Amino acid sequence: MLDFADVPRVDLTIDGADAIDDRLYAVKGAGGAMLREKVVAAASDRMVVIADGSKHGSRIGGVPVPVEILPFARASVLAALGEGATLRLREGDPYVTDNGNWIADCHLDLADPLTTAAWLDALPGALGHGLFLREVDGAYIAHGGVVSRLERDAPSR
């Protein structure tokens, strides 16, 4: 197996999602690795999501959006994220990502996901988030024994 730090490009990334919609906007990160997953997706020529029908809807929402935060900035980031944000805990302690950071699970207004993502991208101390809005190129959704295929009409990245 290769160390990703030594891999400049990836042909294809296949991964799951916590939620995905018809526009191929996805929420990822329930497993806590969304920052690394986003780095891999950005280095990929193509990213495909595989999900069951319970995770698909006409619009994303209904699941918390994870935000990876610098522990040093915990108080200010949580304050900026508002009452809908909670620090993810494991056995009473902050959940620590593979990068040594913490995660806040956030119930955010996703009526305009692009604006929400831009706001999160600009928030000092927020290192990454689980909104994948331009990264996903295609999806396979299994529902009731039938698999549907979704494709992005035009390149988005």
pLDDT at 72 exceeding the cut of 80:
yes
Scanning the structure block, which residue is given the tokens 């990836």? 10
What the chain holds in terms of domains, given with CATH numbers, is 4-145 (3.30.70.260)
29: Cβ contacts below 8 Å, ≥ 6 apart: 18, 37, 65, 66, 68, 103, 129, 130
User: Which residues form the catalytic set?
Assistant: 37
The pLDDT of residue 109: 92
Q: Are 45 and 155 in contact (CB under 8 A)?
A: no
pLDDT tens figures, 46-71: 999 999 999 999 999 899 999 999 99
